[in-house]
Amino acid sequence: MPALLKARRIIVTGGASGFGRAICLRLAKDGAHVIVNCRTRHDEAATLVAEIERSGGSADVISADVTDGAAVRVMLEQQTAQGGIQGLVHAASAPLRDSRFGRTPWDSFEQHWRVAVQGAYNLTQAFIAQPESCSPESIVFILSSGTLGVPPGDKAAYITAKYALLGLARSLAVELAARRIRVNCLSPGFAETPLTAHVDPRVKELIARAVPLKRLAEPEEIAQAVAYLSGPNSGYLTGVNLPIAGGAVM
């Protein structure tokens, strides 16, 4: 297969585990140089980079808290000498907890807002501030299928932040179009990841039965869609929220 992402440098937040890990592997397979961003999972990120390099790919690890604007600016500025960053994938998420609204503290809303929305704000500000020679091209935000269909009833903090992130993406898609920077979202259905490891297996089985394709999403399927949105074959797509949900959202 052609290396569709060759010569592109793409940073993936939350890249050490879950969707982020699968995304890093796929982007590297398609020829991109992947920058694995993490805040705490340093050993897992290093193991991932080693796996990518053993497979003939190219990757680095950069530790930075996406909610820290100064740290994010430094992270992006450090990449300028290497050719900058052409693609940004924001997959980082605060911990996902099942909690009815009446028992959800405001701190939980703030935590999801900081990681999802403030993180996207900091990352995009630094991304578009790169010199023109760095040729920034594509931004992909990872949302949730809850932003497209009926949301779950016990994840108000998480879903609220994802809806805000969708609004930001659509606004950016319009504003940055003149600079040929595309901004898209991807909304995965329920999948087996560290973020959902706490969910009762019986609940997961019920979710799978309710999906037309009768199974949960695979992280690799989300990664494949991210690679498409990050590459040249999606060059006329911007402002899209792509559902990868097995038919649960139509």
d(CA 228, CA 249): 20
Q: What is the DSSP letter of 149?
A: S
Which backbone phi and psi does 60 adopt, to 5 degrees? -135, 165
| Residue 186: closest CA among 240, 230, 128 | 240
Whether 158 is catalytic is: yes
Choose, from 121, 158, 163, 228, the residue flagged as catalytic. 158
Pairing mode, strands 241-244 and 87-90: unpaired
DSSP 150: P
Cα separations in angstroms, 102 against 63, 106, 154, 157, 161: 35, 10, 10, 11, 17
β-strand 9-13 against 33-38: which pairing, if any?
A: parallel
What are the helix (H) ranges across the chain? 18-29, 42-54, 69-77, 106-113, 119-128, 156-176, 201-210, 219-230
Instruction: Please give the angle made by the CA atoms of 159, 163 and 166, to the nearest 5 degrees.
Output: 140
Kindly report the number of other CB atoms within 10 A of residue 154's CB atom: 15
Distance in angstroms (rounded) separating the CA atoms of residues 78 and 74 = 6
Catalytic residues: 158
